[in-house]
A and B are shown apart, each in its own frame.
Chain A
Amino acid sequence: MEYYLQLLLSGLVVGSIYSLVALGFVIIYKATKVVNFAQGELVMVGAYVCFALTVQARLPFLLAFGMTLIFSFVLGILIERLILRPMIGEPIISVIMVTIGLSSVLKSLVQLFWGTQIQVFPPVLPQDPVMIAGLPVAPVYLAAFGLSVILFLIFTAFFKYSRLGISMRATAFDQQAAASMGIGITNIFALSWCIAAMVSSIGGVILGNINGINAQLGHLGLKVFPAVILGGLDSLFGAALGGLIVGVLENVCDGAAKEFLNLGGFKDVAAFILLVVILMIKPYGLFGAREIERV
């Protein structure tokens, strides 16, 4: 039993990273109804830019981090302007494919500028593990957990109370009505991409601190899908919770599969099986808003 408790804890810890990435995902969807298959690559680009500033340009970490956020902001504007703006009104499959194409382009650019070798971040946080309920946890994971919670609270407040946040939700709900109310919807789109890129950069820096960075970091984007869909594509709370659930689920299913079924490597596929099951019961995820179709 204690073993499963440790699995649970370890799953929460890893899941907080999924939550961080899932947040960026949901922010884009909430404002623009675009499913961003390039989220993992945005994480990777953020990590590499911070790496370049910290290691190659030898700037102090906080300054490099700030500059990374600014770079992500600009990247978000560029992506929205150049690639997503022409796709307004196109069917969803086209938008999905454009983000897939974008992910390939970003990956290639990163390889072009920084090569394919594994790079290591200088350790920013203390390395000694902290004991929680008998399980040693690296401070980097605690930072990830803390950051997810903080970002989640910030964005929930933003979307609920600030004028800009409400405009974003309005744009997502009905673009034409929002436009006729005087909301500059293209600015809203750009802003949502910028915010998502910045959140991904934070995720990238955290991830880089865990096990170095290389051009394959984008695979995380794929793992985040079950988390996002589980929680509901347009629910911030769902994304945060979904990430944690997927992290826990992977570990617990892996343990159970090993013990009862003697199946190896079940970790990777467990989340997706659960995903399909949940989708059959609750098609819009646990906390997603039901889409009402009108004839």
Chain B
Amino acid sequence: MKRMAKHMVWALVCVLALAATSFAQDVITIGLLSDLSGPTSAVGVPYSEGIKDAAKYLNENGGIAGKKVNLIEVDYAYNAQQALAAYKRFISQDKIVALQGWGTQDTEALTKFVGKDQIPTLSASYSAHLTDPEKAPYNFFVAADYTTQVRAALKYFKDNWKKAEAPKVAFVYPDHPYGLAPIAGAKEYAKELGFEIVGDENVALNAMDAMAQLLRLQKLAPDYVWIGGTTPSAAIIMKDAQKLGFNTTFFCNIWGVDESLVKLAGDAANGTYSLQTAVVYGQKVPGMAVIEKVTDGKPQMTHYIRGFASMLVMAEGIKLAAAKGELTGPAIKDALETLRDFDPMGLTPPVSFYPKDHRPNMAVFIYKVEDGKMVEVARESLERKAEWLGK
């Protein structure tokens, strides 16, 4: 304890002494907003570690265009005011050229600011309206947006539906911006494909039980049930369904099924389909060797891999911009918009951004939980329809 205190005092002294020194000019400064201690920290921590490890990997291999990456991290604990203040610091003191964001709170609050200050931002908030450059010119992300994920799953189910009558689908989601976002688009597409929408329920993100909602749904006997929450609520729903003897097929997006779900729900999670936009740790893709080396073979969550890929995509954009000689925000944005089928070492489906369309791809990996493990069963790819942009 005393040693820690002594360290802290020393650190403070050195900090105040060093604060005036300026860093080497040959760096690319990137800001990183993470949630390390707030409500989404369970998944925020692995994601931020993926980004940091990717930056470290890039620095160990010559940096980007010969320059080292200087990643400045701020934990904003899912608080919009702190995200805003951290962003202001990034642009005025640290002079970042790009920003790695995290969730809805910071990404939504900063959309207008990054547009005005021209800082390309890659986030982990995959809401569809961020893909429309009219509304969010400087926002990008490397996973298919939430609505596209649901649509891909619906198409996969419909293509594999063998029975004559229309398949029934129900939607269960939290009463929260994150849960509500994809529902309208998903319902529209479900109707288009010929699904019968039988149910619509709310289960809160921190719910302790979902009996009431599942009792209602069980009567309607859906074949497929979409869970739009995060792993804790998804686990509750699956366990309660198992108790009720409610046999249906659940499907969730990247935040609903990850390694924690298997821990929480046990065998109630078997048979669930999961939409992922990055591979699972240990899958045989070129990037996995790199990640295994960086993490010493310790298994990481899918969020780590997505963060790693996000940093790789950003690095590619920066590299292209540097090749043209300009390392500024607008130049990086333009460079990102020239990406065509960029493959981040096989970790995610190939990414393409267009000046009028910031959807990275329309591809989703479909996994199934079998015996406590996530197993890839298909890769679904949808058409890049213009009328789906932003919805």
CB within 8 Å of B: which residues of A?
A: 3, 6-7, 10-11, 13-14, 17, 108, 111, 115-118, 120, 127, 129, 135-138, 207, 210-212, 214-216, 219, 251, 254-255, 258, 264-265, 267-268
Residues of B near A10 (CB, < 8 A) are: 209, 211-212, 215
- B390 on interface, CB distance cutoff 8 Å: no
Give chain B nearest CB distance to A252 CB in angstroms.
8
Q: A138-B243, A215-B41 are in contact. List 10 more A-B contacts (CB 8 A).
A: A3-B215, A6-B211, A10-B215, A13-B211, A118-B231, A127-B266, A212-B232, A215-B37, A264-B201, A267-B202
Closest 9 CB pairs of A and B: A265-B175, A116-B41, A10-B211, A264-B202, A136-B243, A265-B202, A129-B243, A118-B260, A120-B263
Given A118-B231, A118-B232, do A216 and B206 touch, yes or no (CB 8 Å)?
yes
CB within 8 Å of A: which residues of B?
A: 36-37, 39, 41-42, 44-45, 174-175, 200-202, 204, 206-209, 211-213, 215-216, 231-232, 235-236, 239, 243-245, 260, 263-264, 266
Residues of A near B212 (CB, < 8 A) are: 7, 10-11, 251, 254-255, 267
B45 touches A6 (CB 8 A): no
B37 touches A108 (CB 8 A): yes
Report how far A265 CA is from B183 CA in the complex, Å: 15
Majority DSSP secondary structure for residues of B touching A:
helix
5 A-B residue pairs with Cβ-Cβ distance under 8 Å, sorted by A, are: A6-B215, A111-B41, A211-B239, A215-B37, A268-B175
B204 touches A17 (CB 8 A): no
Report how far A51 CA is from B45 CA in the complex, Å: 21
Report how far A221 CA is from B239 CA in the complex, Å: 24
Residues of B near A211 (CB, < 8 A) are: 208, 232, 235-236, 239, 264
B264 touches A212 (CB 8 A): yes
Report how far A120 CA is from B42 CA in the complex, Å: 13
Report how far A104 CA is from B45 CA in the complex, Å: 19
Residues of B near A264 (CB, < 8 A) are: 175, 200-202
Given A10-B209, A255-B212, A267-B204, do A118 and B42 touch, yes or no (CB 8 Å)?
yes
A210 touches B208 (CB 8 A): yes
Inter-chain CB contacts under 8 Å: number: 90
Report how far A8 CA is from B33 CA in the complex, Å: 44
Given A14-B208, A211-B232, A268-B204, do A216 and B264 touch, yes or no (CB 8 Å)?
no
Closest to B260 in A: A118
B215 touches A116 (CB 8 A): no
B42 touches A214 (CB 8 A): yes
Report how far A3 CA is from B263 CA in the complex, Å: 31
Residues of B near A258 (CB, < 8 A) are: 201, 216
Given A10-B209, A212-B235, do A116 and B37 touch, yes or no (CB 8 Å)?
yes
Given A3-B215, A120-B264, A258-B216, do A115 and B206 touch, yes or no (CB 8 Å)?
no
Give chain B nearest CB distance to A130 CB in angstroms.
10
Given A7-B215, A108-B37, A136-B243, do A118 and B206 touch, yes or no (CB 8 Å)?
no
Residues of A near B266 (CB, < 8 A) are: 127
Closest to A257 in B: B202
B204 touches A214 (CB 8 A): no
B211 touches A135 (CB 8 A): yes
Report how far A3 CA is from B213 CA in the complex, Å: 11
Residues of A near B42 (CB, < 8 A) are: 116-118, 214-215
Give chain B nearest CB distance to A281 CB in angstroms.
27
Report how far A246 CA is from B201 CA in the complex, Å: 21
Closest to A14 in B: B209
Report how far A207 CA is from B36 CA in the complex, Å: 24
Give chain B nearest CB distance to A18 CB in angstroms.
9
A116 touches B36 (CB 8 A): yes
Closest to A137 in B: B243
Report how far A127 CA is from B174 CA in the complex, Å: 27
Residues of A near B213 (CB, < 8 A) are: 254
Partner of B208, one of A3, A17, A127, A254: A17
A117 touches B232 (CB 8 A): no
Report how far A118 CA is from B245 CA in the complex, Å: 26
Report how far A115 CA is from B49 CA in the complex, Å: 13
